[in-house]
């Protein structure tokens, strides 16, 4: 006897159509529901008269498409039935955009599909009342936007020091499936007013290769050079596990007098001399700090308070160099993946990108910021 699932309502359970899954449902019965806790696909299919040998065939053919033993509670499914022959199709929504179709026609088949994903540009802005994160939360905006803003401006702004009354504006992209947001928002452009100055960021490129530049097309999120010395002039010593590297840093064997360079731009915040040479610590924006130890001598201009660029020579090494890293005040493994150094795009690329910056900057300028500490978010 067929056990009818409990019908559910919600944005992901819209009545399916031939266009949505590519199935002609004329004269067929359609039932939509969601998987419950501890509900199994085998039990569901069996309740609709699917014999064990066909269920085994489904399990084999679904491999690599979806895991039939892991039907996640809350994920929607659709049953398409014929009055005479029973269940003909089972559709499982793996994600809001991806689905798997099990065809129970003469031959069992399983295939994957994907719904149309639309990208919408949205905008938001407001005045800092207590913190940026609280302001975003008040608008029910994703916390990932705050993380991205902090990461993008980490070389130029300390978000812990934003003041009450500072303002922010930003544009971001959001994937929409059937009109509902899906996934993580992607920052497109931003403006932060702090201390009477405007700080801009515009995304250049896509995916992992994307970087952010200011209105002059200069990179604002630098990153680290691969090594603090010329390639081939030093050798990494055995440094134990990650926990040891976090506590002690890493040690390189070098020739006496090997030039040691700053791995990223920043400010010289501490220079000390001990029994084994000079110790130089550099603060890189608000997020990172590095320390270079056992330098025998320092170059001209390497003084506390001065600013340096990536690749500037700090001094010369002894027969070894020890390096330590910090991120947001906590020691981290120097060998973990850090943001790599970003080369400035060539003039030809920038010539093509400058008109886009002009358009994005105009949208930011036209974004209204209220006079009082009231925030807003809207479609662009």
Q: Which two tokens stand for residue 38?
A: 């501890």
Q: Tell me whether the CATH fold assigned to 11-114 matches the one assigned to 234-332.
A: no
pLDDT for the residue 293 = 92
pLDDT for the residue 54 = 94
Residues 6+ apart with CB under 8 A from 89: 21, 23, 78, 79, 80, 101, 102, 103, 104
Alpha helices, H only, the chain: 18-21, 41-47, 52-61, 132-138, 143-152, 242-248, 347-366
CATH assignment of 234-332? Answer: 2.70.70.10
End-to-end Cα spacing for the chain: 52
pLDDT for the residue 347 = 57
pLDDT for the residue 350 = 66
* Residue matched to tokens 């990932």: 144
Domain coordinates in residue numbering, the chain: 11-114, 118-221+354-379, 234-332
pLDDT for the residue 202 = 93
pLDDT for the residue 353 = 82
Q: Yes or no: is domain 11-114 CATH 3.40.50.720? A: no
Q: Please list the residues that pair with 12 across neighbouring strands.
A: none
Residues 6+ apart with CB under 8 A from 84: none
Residues 6+ apart with CB under 8 A from 364: 169, 170, 171, 189, 190, 191, 200
In terms of DSSP bridges, do strands 211-213 and 234-236 run parallel, antiparallel, or are they unpaired?
Answer: unpaired
pLDDT for the residue 2 = 38
* Residue matched to tokens 């308070």: 305
Sheet hosting strand 76-82, strand order edge to edge: 29-34, 76-82, 86-93, 98-104, 108-114
What's the pTM value of the predicted model, to 2 decimals?
0.62
pLDDT for the residue 210 = 76
pLDDT for the residue 200 = 92
pLDDT for the residue 5 = 41
What class, spelled out in words, does domain 118-221+354-379 have in CATH? alpha beta
pLDDT for the residue 234 = 73
pLDDT for the residue 307 = 86
pLDDT of the chain, 380 residues: tens digit per residue: 333 343 333 334 454 454 578 888 888 888 889 999 989 999 999 999 999 999 999 999 999 999 998 899 999 999 999 877 789 999 999 988 889 999 998 899 999 998 888 999 999 999 988 888 888 988 888 999 998 998 888 777 778 788 898 999 999 999 998 888 888 999 999 999 998 888 999 998 777 667 888 888 777 765 676 678 876 667 777 667 778 888 888 888 888 889 998 887 788 999 999 888 999 999 887 778 899 999 999 998 999 999 888 788 999 998 888 989 888 788 888 776 555 445 555 555 667 788 889 999 999 999 987 554 444 445 55
């Amino acid at each position: 006897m067929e056990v009818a699932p409990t019908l559910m309502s919600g944005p992901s359970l819209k009545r399916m159509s031939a266009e949505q899954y590519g199935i002609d449902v004329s004269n067929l019965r359609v039932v939509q529901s969601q998987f419950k806790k501890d509900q199994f696909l085998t039990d569901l299919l069996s309740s609709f008269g699917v014999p064990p040998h066909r269920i085994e065939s489904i399990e084999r053919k679904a491999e690599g498409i979806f895991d039939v033993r892991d039907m996640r509670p809350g994920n929607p499914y659709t049953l398409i039935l014929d009055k005479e022959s029973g269940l003909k199709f089972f559709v499982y929504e793996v994600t809001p955009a991806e689905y798997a179709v099990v065809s129970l026609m003469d031959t069992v088949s399983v295939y994957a599909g994907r719904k149309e994903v639309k990208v919408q540009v949205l905008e938001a802005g407001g005045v800092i009342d207590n913190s940026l994160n609280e302001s975003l939360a008040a608008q029910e905006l994703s916390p990932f936007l705050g993380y991205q803003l902090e990461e993008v401006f980490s070389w130029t702004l300390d978000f812990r020091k934003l003041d009450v009354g500072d303002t922010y504006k930003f544009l971001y992209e959001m994937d929409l499936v059937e009109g509902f947001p899906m996934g993580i928002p992607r920052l497109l452009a931003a403006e932060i007013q702090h201390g009477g100055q405007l700080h801009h960021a515009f995304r250049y490129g896509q995916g992992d290769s994307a970087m952010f530049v200011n209105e002059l097309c200069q990179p604002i999120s630098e990153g680290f050079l691969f090594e603090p010395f010329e390639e081939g002039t030093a050798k990494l010593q055995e440094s134990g596990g990650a926990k040891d590297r976090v506590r002690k840093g890493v040690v390189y064997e070098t020739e006496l007098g090997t030039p040691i360079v700053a791995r990223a731009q920043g400010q010289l915040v501490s220079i000390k001399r001990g029994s084994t040479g000079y110790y130089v610590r550099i603060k890189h924006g608000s997020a990172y700090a590095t320390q270079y130890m056992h330098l025998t001598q320092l170059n001209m201009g390497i003084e506390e308070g001065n600013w340096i660029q990536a690749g500037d020579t700090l001094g010369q090494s002894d027969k070894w160099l020890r390096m330590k890293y910090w991120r947001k005040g906590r020691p981290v493994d120097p060998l973990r993946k850090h943001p790599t150094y970003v080369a400035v795009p060539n003039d030809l690329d920038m010539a093509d990108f400058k008109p886009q910056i002009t358009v994005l900057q105009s949208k930011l300028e036209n974004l209204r910021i209220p006079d009082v500490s009231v925030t807003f978010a809207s479609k662009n």
